[in-house]
Amino acid sequence: MISSPGQRTFFFIGLLPLIVIILLPYAMMLSGALKSPAEIVAPKFRFIPESPQPGNFVEVFRAMPLGRFFLNSTIIAIGTMLVVLACAIPAAYALGRLRFPGRRPVLFAILTTQMFSPIVLIIALFSQFTGYGLLEGWRCYIALIIANSAWALAFGTWLLTGYFATVPREVEEAALIDGCSRWQALTRVLLPICRPGVVTTMIFAFITAWNEFVFALTFVPGDQFRPLTVAIPSFIGQYGAQWQLLMAAALLATVPVVVMFLLVEKHLVRGLSAGAIK
């Protein structure tokens, strides 16, 4: 867009307060995570802690079973990632590469699932999963992985279909003529070419599951199976005014996904905004 220096200054000055507002909670989280138990409850707030306590990040693992919560989140997120890959890759291949009747309605049906929110279906899922005995003990992992996968599947399939479509058919046909099966052509030729798409889908599925709340809140039977998203807000009451530990836990839970997000940001954003614009 072409614009005068005056306009650019106007936008820049207007954007700055918004950037500050976006960064403020993160700055306060970091500041809070480094404060001593005495300073965190002081009536006046200072951004720079008087004596920074990096030990809080170790202390928090002793004060609460944070390691276990990380493990739970990781199991659920990796499980979701694998299920999404196993379902989305073949589905995207069928939709992007094979000619069959009903292709458009199927694509449409998959994309419509994104319009539903987990919260509206939570009651039906709760009663069903209870019936299957999935909400007892470690089996809640299965319930969470299945539910999270279904909600990450539409975007994964959409993204991969788009990537597969960019690869010329000739590349694959050459492999078929050389004696590859369809399956080999997919795994040995198409997937390596579409690696950014596969990685983006994996990370998207991981982040979706890692950040998910409603399913975890509803399906998890006991403390030891809680992922971070359920465990962290429950500290608010449980651990009294130990905000410095809460913020340390929040920061530790946030950093891995923010890093992952920034790694694939370009691919992810392109996929998501293309989905919204087309």
Partner 1 sequence: MKQRRDTLLALAFLAPAALLLTGVVFYPILQTFYASVCEVDRKGSPGAFGTLKNFHDLAASDVFTREIIPQTLVWTAVVVVGTMLISMFVALALNEHLPGRRLLRAIVLLPWATSLVITAAIYTWMLHPTQGPVNGLLRAWHITDTPPAWLARPELAFASVIAVGIWVSIPFTSTVLLAGLQAIPDDLYEAALIDGASAWQRFRAITLPLLRPVLLVAVVLNVIYVFNSFPIIWVMTEGGPANQTHIIVTWMYKIAIREREFGQGYAMAVITFAFLLVFAVVYSWLFGREEVDRL
C-beta closer to partner 1: residue 116 or 138: 116
Compute the least distance from the CB of residue 121 to partner 1, in Å: 4
For partner 1, the closer of residues 171 and 269 by Cβ is 269
Q: Which single residue is written with the structure tokens 């979701």?
A: 80
Q: Which two tokens stand for residue 124?
A: 């039906």
Give the nearest distance from C-beta 175 to partner 1 in angstroms: 16
User: Is 115:104 a contact under the CB 8 Å cutoff?
Assistant: no
Min separation Cβ 15 and partner 1, Å: 4
What's the one-letter identity of residue 75? Answer: I
Instruction: Provide the token pair at 72.
Output: 């739970």
Using the minimum distance from each CB to partner 1, give the nearer residue, 41 or 174: 41
**Least CB distance from residue 157 to partner 1, whole Å?**
7
Q: What is the DSSP letter of 189?
A: I
Cβ(168)–Cβ(155) below 8 Å: no
Dihedral angle over CA of 196, 198, 199, 202, nearest 10: 160
Report the distance separating Cα 146 and Cα 153, nearest Å. 10
CA atoms within 13 A on the CB side of 245: 22
CB of 119 to partner 1, least distance (A): 5
**Residue among 86 and 171 whose Cβ is closer to partner 1:** 86
Q: Phi and psi dihedrals of 151, rounded to 5?
A: -80, -15
Three-class secondary structure of residue 110 per DSSP? helix
Q: Which is nearer to partner 1, 101 or 179 (CB)?
A: 101
Which of 159, 247 has the CB closer to partner 1?
247
Instruction: Output 189-193 pairs: Cβ under 8 A, ≥24 positions apart.
Output: 190/93, 190/97, 190/164, 191/89, 193/167
Residue 71 vs 94, nearer CB to partner 1 = 94
Rounded to a whole number of angstroms, the minimum distance from the CB of residue 58 to partner 1 is 20
In the complex, the smallest distance separating the C-beta of residue 61 from partner 1, rounded to whole angstroms, is 18
